[in-house]
């Protein structure tokens, strides 16, 4: 289905029949990626007395319980409620679901014992573009990201200056294939989360961060239409399904 979109005086054309899913599916398996010191997610049939919610085991339906953590077990979208004393639900604050997005690929730079993404890298790649959403694919981009165990590995992260720059240029939605935009063990500082949502001043309640995505190599850097889909969870974060559409 061919669609025309007007955004900031620019006309974009896309085909909604050609989606590019950049989410990681949730699997009840040790192959599921995991962060934050948890085990694998669980999807198990309900047990009620002698009855098991499994057609294979004689039930009329499959009736599973799902146990997972949105932050630790795969692609998720979070709002400022992730770090505020006040409760904010991502289901309430995310009211629009289509955005013009820029996909960029960056190699984290060595800094002491860490690997970081800097403001200079972001500015250089965006080259003055001012999208609503920025999608960061880190390099190298191996398929190990689909199964990786991130706990205690000190993955790459963004520097605080990146969040400040994106906030000041009006980016509302930040997506990355990292398990967190912040350093794994930072003593609870969460500098990037705080800076992007501006929680020390006027909190940007309509801004979101999406982590744990995976953008395949066949998807080139550039401008896309982003459909940011979430489940209707009344929680600071929800499992999500970001989908890209090529701009023609």
Would residue 102 count as lying in a domain? yes
pLDDT for 5 equals 78
Would residue 236 count as lying in a domain? yes
> The domain containing residue 20 runs over which residues?
2-26+70-247
- C-alpha 172/C-alpha 7 separation (Å) is 15
Would residue 215 count as lying in a domain? yes
What strand order describes the sheet that includes 109-111? 109-111, 114-117, 157-158
Number of domains making up the chain = 1
Would residue 148 count as lying in a domain? yes
pLDDT for 9 equals 76
Q: What is the CATH number of the domain that holds 77?
A: 3.50.30.50
Instruction: Compute the residue count for the chain.
Output: 248
Would residue 112 count as lying in a domain? yes
Quickly tell me which residue has 């692609």 as its tokens.
75
Take residue 149 and report the two structure tokens written for it.
Answer: 């165990």
Would residue 54 count as lying in a domain? no
Q: Are 27 and 78 in contact (CB under 8 A)?
A: no
What secondary structure does DSSP assign to 64-117, as a single string? EEEE--TTTSS-EEE-GGGT-SS---HHHH----EEEEEEEEE-PEEETTEEEE
Query: b or e along 77-87 (b: 16 or more beta carbons within 10 Å of the residue's beta carbon)?
Result: bbbbbbbeeee
Would residue 178 count as lying in a domain? yes
* pTM recorded for the entire structure: 0.96
pLDDT in tens, the chain (248 residues): 788 877 777 888 888 899 999 999 999 999 999 999 999 999 999 999 999 999 999 999 999 999 999 999 999 999 999 999 999 999 999 999 999 999 999 999 999 999 999 999 999 999 999 899 999 999 999 999 999 999 999 999 999 999 999 999 999 999 999 999 999 999 999 999 999 999 999 999 999 999 999 999 999 999 999 999 999 999 999 999 999 999 98
Would residue 37 count as lying in a domain? no
């Amino acid at each position: 289905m061919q669609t025309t979109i007007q955004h900031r005086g620019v006309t974009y054309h896309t085909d909604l029949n050609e989606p590019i899913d950049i989410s990681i599916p949730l699997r009840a398996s040790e192959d599921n990626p995991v962060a934050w010191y948890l085990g694998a997610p669980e999807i198990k049939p309900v047990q009620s007395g002698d009855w098991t919610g499994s057609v294979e085991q004689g039930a009329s339906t499959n009736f599973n319980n799902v146990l997972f953590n949105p932050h630790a077990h795969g692609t998720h979208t979070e709002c400022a409620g992730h770090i505020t004393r006040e409760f904010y639900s991502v289901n309430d604050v995310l009211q629009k679901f289509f955005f013009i997005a820029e996909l960029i690929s960056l190699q984290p730079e060595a800094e002491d014992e860490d690997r970081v993404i800097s403001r200079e890298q972001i500015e250089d790649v965006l080259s003055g573009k001012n999208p609503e959403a920025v999608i960061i694919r880190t390099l190298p981009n191996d398929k190990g990201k689909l199964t990786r165990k991130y706990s205690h590995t000190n993955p790459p992260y963004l520097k605080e200056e990146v969040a400040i720059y994106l906030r000041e240029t009006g980016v509302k939605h930040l997506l990355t294939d990292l398990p967190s935009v912040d350093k794994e063990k930072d003593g609870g500082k969460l500098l990037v989360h705080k800076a992007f949502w501006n929680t020390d001043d006027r909190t940007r309640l309509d801004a979101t961060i999406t982590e744990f995505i995976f953008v395949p190599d066949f998807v080139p850097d550039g401008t896309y239409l982003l459909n940011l889909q979430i489940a209707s969870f009344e929680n600071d974060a929800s499992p999500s399904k970001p989908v890209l559409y090529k701009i023609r």
